[in-house]
């Protein structure tokens, strides 16, 4: 389970490359950044599609002070390969 807002990930849910990306420092930085946005008010799944053997999820996270976009790519075995957070402008 990914709970990047709390600075936690279950490494068993991650593909090797993603596991290497979520270092202790990266998780701490993400947790601090998200905490500054206020309360998470809503998560919206915008789309899903298959791409090159992976499943792509596009989500919108609506926080009290900002809206973010998340792109998640899961491998065929269900492990998360990429998890990208960006400002929605």
At 80, which CATH number?
Answer: 3.10.450.590
| Structure-token pair, residue 14 | 């991650």
Domain, as residue range, for 55: 2-87
CA distance 70 to 72: 6
DSSP labels, 20-68: HHS-HHHHHHHHHHHHTT--EEEEEEEEEEEETTEEEEEEEEEESS-EE
pLDDT in tens, 28-76: 999 999 999 999 999 999 999 998 889 999 999 999 999 999 999 999 9
88 burial (CB, 10 Å; 0-12 / 13-18 / 19+) is exposed
The number of domains in the chain is 1
pLDDT in tens, 1-36: 678 888 899 999 999 999 999 999 999 999 999 999
User: Taking the model in full, what pTM does it have?
Assistant: 0.85
Contact 61/37 with Cβ under 8 angstroms?
no
């Amino acid at each position: 389970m990914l709970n990047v807002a709390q600075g936690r990930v279950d490494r068993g849910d991650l593909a090797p490359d993603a596991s290497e990306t979520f270092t202790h420092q990266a998780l701490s930085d993400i947790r601090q950044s998200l905490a500054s946005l206020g309360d998470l008010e809503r998560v919206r799944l915008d789309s899903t599609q298959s791409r090159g053997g992976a499943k792509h999820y596009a989500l919108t996270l609506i926080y009290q002070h900002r809206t973010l976009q998340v792109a998640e790519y899961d491998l065929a075995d269900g492990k998360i390969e990429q998890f990208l957070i960006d400002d929605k402008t």
